[in-house]
Amino acid sequence: MEDKTKRGLTIKETSVDEKLKVKADKGMIHDMDGIGHWVPIRWYFAKNQFDLNQVLEYAEEMDKKYTELRELTCPDDD
Amino acid sequence: MSYAHPEVLVDTEWMSKNPPNENRKLVEVDYDPVNGYQKGHINGASLIWWKRDINDPVTRDIISKRQFEELMTKNGITADTEVILYGDFNNWFAAFVFWVFKIYGHENLKIMNGGRKKWELENREYTTEEPQLQATNYIAQPPDEGLRAYLFDVSRALDKEDTVMVDVRSPAEFTGEITAPPEYPMEHAQRGGHIPGANNIPWATAVNDADGTFKTVDELKQNYEPKGVTPDKDVICYCRIGERSSHSWFVLKYLLGYSKVRNYDGSWTEWGNMIGNPVEK
């Protein structure tokens, strides 16, 4: 699974994502104050541990998060 | 041949043998202190956090003379103190702070060549203990505006043959392919490209890849002079937010000894966002 909003971000390490408990490529994004935050870019779900529906749930959750963020700054009048 | 002002540099070996004391203060300058100073720093170093300490908290500007005096006072620095700066991100922000110190007239000022990068490559020690600093009463000089270029100065220099603009960003930023890397989403501009007539001489061409130390005088001359960046010119350096350009400003002014070099700290995040500014790709 890949977070396409992180496209182009340099992969700095591959380690376990504490939230989803799977191996993930991670990069660093610096906030307004310059502080770097590790962010997962791509997750590797092992086929013998996860089925596609479970991964889809995670993907939909991520999509929902970005929709909510978009609504916060650019609310859709419809 | 040695640098024009070799007294502005110390190396890591010297630093390890000459720790800070009452008359010598060591200051780490970080863009990201959470992943830098707070994880470990050179023994006795205090912290200047670029965003919090060296920028006005409200307006986009460097700190005022009064704010600078307060910062120095807090860091136990007097007008006579020898101050050595080093930091994260290849000393970019240490160079920015060097520039601000010079704006407010601090004389005895140095940079530790190679910064955190070289110190770490040499597996030298860090501590997480913060020094106990005695407050001072620092009196700064009025700002030396001759070291700083404003939007107006850059606009006015566009058609001047005796002023040369040095864009120290990456070639991808210079051509407008990107406005900022994905790591820095807060530093984009509405337009990509560069100031018309600017030369692209990336900051990194002034340092050795391996350890981030500055190249030799001959190598530096070869880096700038063939592109028309010569000591007889009025030089303006810029990048995206003014930190990489202060690194090149330092190289031109202190290592090569150019007499007229200014840092345009508004840089691309100002130029590339202003309505009507000419842009070249």
Beta-carbon separation of B183 and A10 below 8 A: yes
Angle, vertex CA B265, rays to CA B117 and CA B166, nearest 5: 80
* Overall fold of domain B146-271: Oxidized Rhodanese; domain 1 (3.40.250)
Find chain B residues with C-beta within 8 A of A28's C-beta: 183
Residue B11, pLDDT score: 98
**Six-digit token string for B189:** 């501009």
Judge whether A4 is closer than 8 Å to chain B, CB to CB. no
pLDDT of B273: 97
Contact A33 B183 (CB under 8 A): no
B194 close to B200: Cβ distance less than 8 angstroms: yes
**pLDDT averaged over chain B?**
97
Nearest chain B residue to A32 by CA: give it.
B186
Is B111 in contact with B99 (CB distance < 8 Å)?
Answer: no
Domains of chain B, residue spans: 6-143, 146-271
| Residue B45 φ/ψ, nearest 5 degrees | -80, 140
Spans of all domains in chain A: 4-73
Query: In whole angstroms, what is the distance from residue B4 CA to residue B120 CA?
Result: 28
Q: Which CATH superfamily is domain B6-143 in?
A: Rhodanese-like domain (3.40.250.10)
Give catalytic residue positions of B.
Answer: 239
pLDDT of residue A77: 62
pLDDT in tens, chain B (281 residues): 899 999 999 999 999 999 999 999 999 999 999 999 999 999 999 999 999 999 999 999 999 999 999 999 999 999 999 999 999 999 999 999 999 999 999 999 999 999 999 999 999 999 999 999 999 999 999 999 999 999 999 999 998 999 999 999 999 999 999 999 999 999 999 999 999 999 999 999 999 999 999 999 999 999 999 999 999 999 999 999 999 999 999 999 999 999 999 999 999 999 999 999 999 99
Nearest-by-CA chain B residue for A37: B35
Size of interface A-B (CB pairs under 8 A): 40
The C-alpha atoms of residue B127 and residue A54 are separated, in whole angstroms, by 45
Pairing of strands A13-17, B163-167: unpaired
Is B181 in Cβ contact with A34 (below 8 Å)? Answer: no
Distance CA B213, CA B114 (A): 4
Q: How close A53 gets to chain B, by Cα (Å)? A: 30
Residue A78: pLDDT over 60: no
- Of the CA atoms within 13 Å of residue B256, those in its CB half-sphere come to 29
Chain A residues lying within 8 Å of B33, measured CB to CB: 35
Instruction: Render pLDDT for A17-67 as a digit per residue (tens, 0 to 9).
Output: 999 999 999 999 999 999 999 999 999 999 999 999 999 999 999 999 998
| ipTM value for the complex | 0.85
State the pLDDT at residue A74.
80
Name every chain B residue with its beta carbon within 8 A of the beta carbon of A33.
Answer: 51-52
Q: What is the C-alpha end-to-end distance of chain B, expressed in Å?
A: 37
